[in-house]
C-alpha cells in the first residue's frame, strides 16, 4: 500500500474504502471483511451516512481476526452540515467517536462548506465553518483527532479558512474524476501541503455510470488488460491523488485495490485528462458563500 504523509505527520493510505450508502450490519460486515482481506487499511464514513455504529461494531469484531489493532487502520469521519458551528461541531465529533467505538479519529472533515437549513448565500456560512474549525483545532490538540480537513470546499473556501486558522487543513476531499478535472484546485492544495483526496472517482449510478462506460476509458482498459474502474482509480493515484472507491461487490472491492501492478503511460494519462467536461455528478459547492 502506498502511503501519503500528511502535514500532521501521520501516514494515510492512498486508497481507502468508501462507505457511502452502505447500510445494515450484515452488508457492512461483509464489505469490511472483504476489504481487510484485500489489504485495505483505510475506511471512510460520515455522520450523514448513518452507518458509523455498525462500522464500529464490525471493526471491533474483525480486526483481531486479521491480527490487527485500531492503530493499524486509518479511520475517517465527517461533520454533518446540520452540526456546523461552535460547540455543535465538538458534540457531533464526540458522538462519532462513541458510535465508532474509538478514542480517536485519524481524520475528521467538515463535510460541506454550508450549513443545513441556511441558504447557499447566507452570510453566516463562513462564520459557522470557521467556528467548526476552531472546535476541530481544539479536538486535534486534545489528541481526539490525528488530522483535520475539509470536504467539498472550493479554493475560495480554503483561502478564507487559511486566513483565519491556527492549524491549516491537512486534507481536502472533493469530487474529482476525468469528467471533472480540478487541476487548479489540486495545484493549490499541493502548494499549501494539503493532501488532495478524490471521491466519486467512478462516477455515480444515477448518471448511468458515464465514467465507467466512457469509450476512451474502455479502450485504455482493454489495452492494459484492466477494468475501467482500475483505470479511473489508477489515473488518480498515479498523480498522488487519494481515492476512496465504494462498492458492496466483493470482486469489485478486491479489484479496486489492485492498482500497483501496472502503470499508465503519459499518453494514456493525457487522454483520460482530456475527457474533462467540468461536470459534477455529486454535490456542487459553487453556490455556497
Is 104 an annotated catalytic residue?
no
CB-neighbour burial class of residue 86 (10 A; exposed 0-12, middle 13-18, buried 19+): middle
Q: Is 157 annotated as a binding residue?
A: no
Q: Is 215 left (phi over 0), alpha (psi -120 to 50) or beta?
A: alpha
> What distance in Å separates the CA atoms of residue 216 and residue 134, rounded to the nearest whole number?
45
Contact 151, 157 (CB under 8 A): no
Q: Please calculate the CA angle 80-109-242 and round it to the nearest 5 degrees.
A: 130
φ, ψ for residue 152 (rounded to 5)? 65, 20
Given 49, 108, 140, 199, the catalytic residue: 49
Handedness of CA 217, 218, 220, 226 (dihedral sign): positive
> What distance in Å separates the CA atoms of residue 259 and residue 232, rounded to the nearest whole number?
10
> What distance in Å separates the CA atoms of residue 166 and residue 134, rounded to the nearest whole number?
8
Residues with active-site annotation: 49
Q: Binding site: residue ranges?
A: 111
Q: Binding site for substrate: residue ranges?
A: 111
Amino acid at each position: 500500500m502506498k502511503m501519503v504523509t500528511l502535514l500532521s505527520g501521520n501516514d494515510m493510505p492512498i486508497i481507502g474504502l468508501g462507505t457511502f450508502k452502505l447500510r445494515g450490519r450484515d452488508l457492512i460486515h461483509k464489505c469490511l471483511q472483504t476489504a481487510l482481506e484485500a489489504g485495505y487499511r483505510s475506511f471512510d464514513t460520515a455522520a450523514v451516512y448513518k452507518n458509523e455504529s455498525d462500522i464500529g461494531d464490525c471493526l471491533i469484531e474483525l480486526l483481531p481476526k486479521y491480527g490487527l489493532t485500531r492503530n493499524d487502520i486509518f479511520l475517517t469521519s465527517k461533520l454533518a452540515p446540520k452540526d456546523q458551528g461552535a460547540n455543535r461541531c465538538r458534540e457531533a465529533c464526540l458522538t462519532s467517536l462513541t458510535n465508532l467505538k474509538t478514542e480517536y479519529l485519524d481524520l475528521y472533515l467538515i463535510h460541506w462548506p454550508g450549513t443545513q437549513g441556511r441558504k447557499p448565500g447566507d452570510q453566516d456560512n463562513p462564520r459557522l465553518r470557521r467556528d467548526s474549525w476552531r472546535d476541530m483545532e481544539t479536538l486535534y490538540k486534545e489528541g481526539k483527532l490525528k488530522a483535520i480537513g475539509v470536504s467539498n470546499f472550493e479554493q475560495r473556501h480554503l483561502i478564507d479558512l487559511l486566513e483565519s486558522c491556527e492549524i491549516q487543513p491537512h486534507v481536502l476531499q472533493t469530487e474529482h474524476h476525468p469528467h471533472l478535472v480540478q487541476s487548479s484546485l489540486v495545484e493549490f492544495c499541493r502548494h499549501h501541503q494539503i493532501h488532495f483526496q478524490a471521491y466519486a472517482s467512478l462516477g455515480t449510478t444515477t448518471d448511468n455510470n458515464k465514467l465507467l462506460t466512457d469509450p476512451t476509458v474502455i479502450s485504455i482498459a482493454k489495452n492494459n488488460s484492466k477494468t475501467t474502474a482500475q483505470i479511473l482509480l489508477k489515473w488518480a493515484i498515479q498523480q498522488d491523488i487519494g481515492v476512496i472507491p465504494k462498492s458492496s461487490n466483493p470482486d469489485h472491492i478486491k479489484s479496486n485495490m489492485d492498482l500497483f501492478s501496472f502503470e499508465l503511460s503519459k499518453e494514456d494519462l493525457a487522454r483520460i485528462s482530456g475527457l474533462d467536461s467540468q461536470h459534477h455528478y455529486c454535490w456542487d459547492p459553487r453556490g455556497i458563500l
